[in-house]
A = this chain, B = another copy of it.
Amino acid sequence: MVSFESDYIAGAHPEVLKRLGETNLEQLSGYGTDKYCESAREKIRKACGLPQADVEFLAGGTQANAVVISTMLADHEGVIAAETGHVSAHEAGAIEFTGNEVLLLPQKDGKISPETLEKYMAEFYGDLNHEHMTFPGMVYLSYPTEYGTLYSKAELEAIYGICRSYKLTLFIDGARLGYGLASKEAGLTLPELAALCDVFYIGGTKVGALCGEAVVFTKNNKPKHFITSVKKRGALLAKGRLLGVQFDTLFTDELYFRISDHAIEMAERMKQMFLSHGLKLYLDSPTNQQFPIFENGQLEEVSKQIAFSFWEKYDDSHTVVRAATSWSTTEEDLEALEEALGKKA
């Protein structure tokens, strides 16, 4: 059985694991104060073109979302997100658990449009008595989105413009950031993305690490005593080196970008494979997650050899699945997929 269920089915990129081994017996200070964390911070700052940025490491995506949102919102504020945003539906109420409301906006292909955001803000500060409503204080986007889609540079510029005019913090969830930036449709570099938001994170868990997300505060806006707030949320690892060494490796010799390129190349080939076998795509994703629509019988047959994630029912006889590539996807994986699809064509 070959699995395309997700982009976190394998362990760490071998380079990452190798560095963990090489540094394993060094005596290092805890809680993110070691030299590898420092080095990783410095390399990330450089990669972002933000020499003054603050970089902090957290263990996972939901944790990063909850920590960033709950430390950066004021008491009277909530966070705007697409109805389909990860924080809206797939984090078991992690944002609400920290006392904060998620303000849902309609989406298309997983994205909030600048027009939708502008209209919402204009109405909020228009005729309504908003003192009894949660104030929008932040916009949460994913890059790529839950559907693998990407905001264009123009869209991000428009959204960030709205954010600045209404004093909204723009937060970009980059759990799959590498796969977004590596997409042929990105039209955006890491420094450009970093310049178009207030805070974002560089996902490690899905892009080569065992765990870990690097939160980048781009505007000298890290909350005061952030580490204490991280500790308060049970999110501070004693052996911060685990995150530091991994990110230090990922940002050495552009490993993060190289493995992202690989995943995107594999995804492109997978996408063509689906199309050449006559499958339709639920939507046109330019990143590492693809959403083919299978006839149910065919899916059952293919699923004997290949594992996908169920995404949603398309109609009574068809099903949408998610097929994800990652740094760990191999030629053999694609060949197995080709063979399985071929049987059914």
Given contacts A27-B10, A76-B229, A238-B211, is CB(A99)–CB(B97) below 8 Å? yes
From residue 184 to 212 of chain A, which have CB atoms closer than 8 A to chain B? 205-206, 210-211
**Which of A151-159, A219-227, A277-285 is found at the contact surface with chain B?**
A219-227
B-contact 0/1 string along A6-45, CB 8 Å cutoff: 1011111010010011011111111100000000000000
A96 on the B face (CB < 8 A): yes
B-contact 0/1 string along A280-316, CB 8 Å cutoff: 0000000000000000000000000000001011000
Which residues of B are found within 8 Å of A60, using beta-carbon distances? 234, 236-238
**Which of A85-93, A253-261, A265-273 is found at the contact surface with chain B?**
A85-93
Complex alpha-carbon distance, A78 and B91, angstroms: 12
* Closest chain B CB from A255 CB (angstroms): 16
User: Could you tell me if B75 and A232 are in contact, using CB atoms closer than 8 angstroms?
Assistant: yes
Contact of A96 among B90, B100, B229, B238 (CB under 8 A): B100
Complex alpha-carbon distance, A344 and B210, angstroms: 45
User: Could you tell me if A101 and B90 are in contact, using CB atoms closer than 8 angstroms?
Assistant: no
Which residues of B are found within 8 Å of A99, using beta-carbon distances? 93, 96-99
Which residues of B are found within 8 Å of A146, using beta-carbon distances? none
A343 on the B face (CB < 8 A): no
* Stoichiometry (number of copies): 4
Which residues of B are found within 8 Å of A223, using beta-carbon distances? 75
User: Could you tell me if B30 and A131 are in contact, using CB atoms closer than 8 angstroms?
Assistant: no
Residues of A within 8 A of B (CB): 1-3, 5-6, 8-12, 14, 17, 20-21, 23-31, 59-67, 70-71, 74-76, 78, 89-102, 104, 127-129, 131-135, 205-206, 210-211, 223-225, 227-229, 231-239, 241-242, 310, 312-313, 328
23 CB < 8 A contacts A-B: A3-B27, A9-B29, A9-B30, A10-B28, A12-B20, A17-B20, A20-B20, A60-B238, A65-B234, A66-B234, A71-B75, A74-B225, A76-B224, A76-B229, A92-B228, A92-B231, A93-B134, A96-B99, A96-B134, A127-B310, A205-B238, A211-B237, A211-B238
